[in-house]
Structure 1
């Protein structure tokens, strides 16, 4: 089983939109597709793709906010067929490691906003729930904001978790 993480390139656009489509309607609203397409056309920061046997399987990025001591994760998603396979955790810790090792100047916090359904995933991975916004999304959904404190870890510790997530994803995918 070959699982790899690589930078997103423009040629991946259709594959990322297809990954998004597999997550409708449970994880995203159909109206979010236009927003994703616009994001892909003008990325605000680095974006990564997880591939399985060379085929796109998960996508997400981040942007560092220059005027704040934080980075914001955007569009973390795995194709529905890979839910529970560990690709999301691999993608998350790869992005955390990227922020921890490449933000210049270094940034302390990594934040994310997500739905109440997905929030426990981030909390399980060490994020702290910082606020809950009823009707925080224009669609009317509740928004959970969470943050990860990079000052509480090291790049080496993030690498260990990322590598363990990769090994677990390979193990789970081999059984699928």
Structure 2
């Protein structure tokens, strides 16, 4: 089950972030994520399994009206490889199909550790920047082309 993020989800989302350090997120990014949660304007979702929040992530529209981006997506580390990442991506694709059907491409900046998941989901790497987030944590800019109904 998923729902929109609420301010009372902040502590759990920060715990999700912490569970993914240092492999998926650099510790120094935690303050940036905390600030994002307090001031976000993105559409942001949480995924629940029973009473437990297990994933969170957002989607935003870029100024050109034809592209969108994924923001701060994560799955609690002990829940990796259980379908939550795929579900979170589908939630965001479904949102785009309904709220922004004109979007033709979806982009993400992610690390080399998450890039294989997104490649498996159809994203293509556009650019790689070594040590961008932290030493040993590279930035992969990836893109998924969507058809006119927002589907991949």
The two structures have a TM-score, normalised by structure 2, of 0.91
Q: How does 1:25-174 map to 2 (within 5 A)?
A: 25-103=22-100, 106-137=102-133, 139-140=134-135, 141-151=137-147, 154=149
Greater fraction of residues in helix:
1
Greater fraction of residues in strand:
2
Matched residues in 1 for 2:41 and 2:64: separation? 15
For residues 134-160 of structure 1, what are the alpha-carbon distances to aligned partners after superposition, in whole Å with 9 as ceiling and x for unaligned? 2333x2432111111112x745x67xx
Matched residues in 2 for 1:121 and 1:154: separation? 23
- Say whether the 8 Å CA contact 2:23–2:113 is kept in structure 1: no
Q: CA RMSD in A?
A: 1.7
Matched residues in 1 for 2:23 and 2:138: separation? 14
Shift of 1:15: 0.7
Q: Which entry has the higher C-alpha Rg, 1 or 2?
A: 1
The two structures have a TM-score, normalised by structure 1, of 0.79
Matched residues in 2 for 1:108 and 1:154: separation? 9
